[in-house]
Amino acid sequence: MGNVYIRNLCILAAVFFFLLFISSLNVISSSDFSDIKEAKRLIIEAKKAYPEISDISTSLVLGFIEVESEFKASAIGGVGEIGFMQVRPTTYDWIMSEYDIEQNGEMSDSFNNIVAGMHYISWLKKRLKGKTFKTIQAYNVGLQGFRDGRTSTIYALRVYTGSFKYILVW
């Protein structure tokens, strides 16, 4: 009886992830491929310029960008988040200061925005002992929000499944 339950649960989870993955393919078909290619180029450039973030998966960052801004570099969020990675101005200033990064341009500059977002991912990942799924959740609500229990599993699944799509497609 227990094995049947576990098997059915695994099948249900596989179907759920498959449907989530298929629905995430819509962004590739509706996004301009040049925007995705540009984001990937900037991620690779950021990794070369800042070795401390080179271990962050390019496909994971593409998953974040898809969910956060749908590859719209000029996106502005409801509480002041800006750019591909939807970084808040206060987070951007703190990251640039924390990592002693020289600001060559504004946070709306796509390269700077990706550098800040990737450093924030790295910072969160260290505090969450390398747990990628928890890092994704914390990126969405902040570390304190995550610790206070304000998490979104759906958000994290969208980023995570999106990242798998970019492994397969790009």
- Rounded to whole angstroms, how far apart are CA atoms 124 and 130? 8
- Count of domains observed in the chain: 1
- Specify whether the CB–CB gap between 145 and 157 falls below 8 A: no
Structure-token pair, residue 5: 């339950």
What is the DSSP code (8-state) at residue 53? G
32: pLDDT confidence band, cut at 50, 70 and 90?
Answer: confident
| Per-residue model confidence (pLDDT) at position 106 | 86
- Residue-level pLDDT at 10: 57
CA–CA distance, 65 with 36 (Å, rounded to integer): 9
Q: What is the pLDDT of residue 16?
A: 63
**pLDDT at 33 (0 to 100):** 82
- Pairwise CA distance, residues 152 & 141, whole Å: 8
Cα 111 from Cα 170, distance rounded (Å) = 20
- Over 90: is that where the pLDDT of 137 sits? yes
| pLDDT (0 to 100) of residue 170 | 60
Residue 82 has pLDDT above 60, yes or no: yes
What is residue 14's predicted lDDT score, i.e. its pLDDT?
66
Residues 136-154, mean pLDDT to the nearest whole number: 94
CATH at 85: 1.10.530.10
At 156, the pLDDT band (50, 70, 90 cuts) reads very high
136: domain range?
2-169
